[in-house]
Amino acid sequence: MSGWLFDLGNSRLKFAPLRDGRAGPVSAVVHDGHRFADGWEAALPADCTQAFVSSVGPAPLLEQLRMRLFERGAEVERARTEAACDGVRIAYDEPARLGVDRFLALLAAHAWHEGHALVVGVGTALTIDLLARDGRHVGGRIAPSPALMREALNARSPQLPVDGGAYAEFAGDTGDALASGCEGAALALVERSLAEAESTLAARPTLLVHGGGAPALLPRLPGARHQPALVLDGLARWAARPTARIDAC
């Protein structure tokens, strides 16, 4: 059987072959929340017989993906957050309220990284989750990502550009000031979380960063590890769990 991993987010569909318990080379197609980019169906793997899918994206796009995979003869199993899985125990009283992308990133962090971990996702939202070395999810934070901050500012004040500019500690023009302020807010939250995590666990956690907005922050996060396939690697762990069962999309 040919297994593939699919992660539908708020702006991209990422997918990769399942190889040796992890994600292989990752491909992606973009979407605008309503439709995928032209030609997206041709980009899907032709040899997929078993598909493992995670989604925080729009339901209509998930349905389109599901139908295309069914047409290719694939068996489709959708990942959902569980209270405990693969050695990870979720802190939420209602585990289903924890986004599946955060849940899967925690599975990968626990499986593939030793010690405590602070898992930071930089997408539409900025998510931060603290994972103790024994698999205990201590809890997390959610904030707007730098990109979303700029979109919100532009929506209220169109004269403020939604992109452009370069980071500076004290910027000399509006574009740079926006980049510096929005990225700086994200950096400050990560740094605060690292300090609090070290105090809570009496040891500094490894900082794992993933998501489309990660590259902009990484140069100012010393010691951070860029893990672009973290959610897909976690989906691979979920797919291999001993209690595997079919959960149709």
Helix (H) or strand (E) holding 210: strand 206-210
pTM here? Answer: 0.94
Looking at residue 41, its pLDDT comes to: 95
Identity at 76, one-letter amino acid code: V
**In residues, how long is the chain?**
249
Identity at 236, one-letter amino acid code: A
Task: Examine the domain organization and report whether 68 and 145 are in the same domain.
Answer: no
Looking at residue 242, its pLDDT comes to: 77
Does the structure show a pLDDT above 80 at 249? no
Q: Which of 58, 78, 98 is the last residue of a domain?
A: 78
Q: Report the CATH number at residue 180.
A: 3.30.420.40
Does the structure show a pLDDT above 60 at 188? yes
Q: Which of 22, 51, 78 is the last residue of a domain?
A: 78
Q: How far is CA 117 from the centre of its chain?
A: 15
The model's pLDDT over 115-128, given as tens digits with 9 standing for 90+, comes to 999 999 999 999 99
Task: Examine the domain organization and report whether 19 and 130 are in the same domain.
Answer: no
**Cβ pair 11, 31 in contact under 8 A:** yes
Task: Examine the domain organization and report whether 17 and 58 are in the same domain.
Answer: yes
> Which among 98, 103, 107, 87 is positioned nearest to 23, based on CA atoms?
107
How far apart are alpha carbons 211 and 98 in whole angstroms? 17
**Cβ pair 119, 90 in contact under 8 A:** no
Domain total of the chain: 2
**Number of alpha carbons in the 13 Å side-chain half-sphere of residue 233:** 15
Task: Examine the domain organization and report whether 46 and 137 are in the same domain.
Answer: no
User: Is the alpha carbon torsion for 30, 32, 38, 40 positive or negative?
Assistant: positive
The model's pLDDT over 48-75, given as tens digits with 9 standing for 90+, comes to 999 999 999 999 999 999 999 999 999 9
Looking at residue 1, its pLDDT comes to: 63
> Which among 207, 195, 230 is positioned nearest to 111, based on CA atoms?
230
Inside any domain, residue 165:
yes
How far apart are alpha carbons 197 and 83 in whole angstroms? 22
Helix pair 230-239, 100-112: axis angle to 10 deg: 80
Does the structure show a pLDDT above 60 at 244? no
Residue with more model confidence, 183 or 242: 183
Task: Examine the domain organization and report whether 95 and 174 are in the same domain.
Answer: yes
Looking at residue 62, its pLDDT comes to: 97
Q: What average pLDDT does the segment 66-91 reach? A: 96
Write down the number of H helices and E strands in the chain.
7, 13
Looking at residue 93, its pLDDT comes to: 97
Does the structure show a pLDDT above 50 at 246? no
The model's pLDDT over 8-29, given as tens digits with 9 standing for 90+, comes to 999 999 999 999 999 999 999 9
Q: What average pLDDT does the segment 225-232 reach? A: 98
Q: Which residue has the tokens 């990133």?
A: 105
**Enzyme catalytic residues:** 101
Range of the domain at 196: 89-234
Q: Which of 52, 78, 104 is the last residue of a domain?
A: 78
Give one DSSP letter per residue of 67-128, joined into a string: HHHHHTT-EEEE----SEETTEE---SSGGGS-HHHHHHHHHHHHH--S-EEEEEESSEEEE
Give me 124's structure tokens: 């539409």
Angle CA 217–221–223, to nearest 5: 135
Task: Examine the domain organization and report whether 111 and 227 are in the same domain.
Answer: yes
How far apart are alpha carbons 199 and 139 in whole angstroms? 14
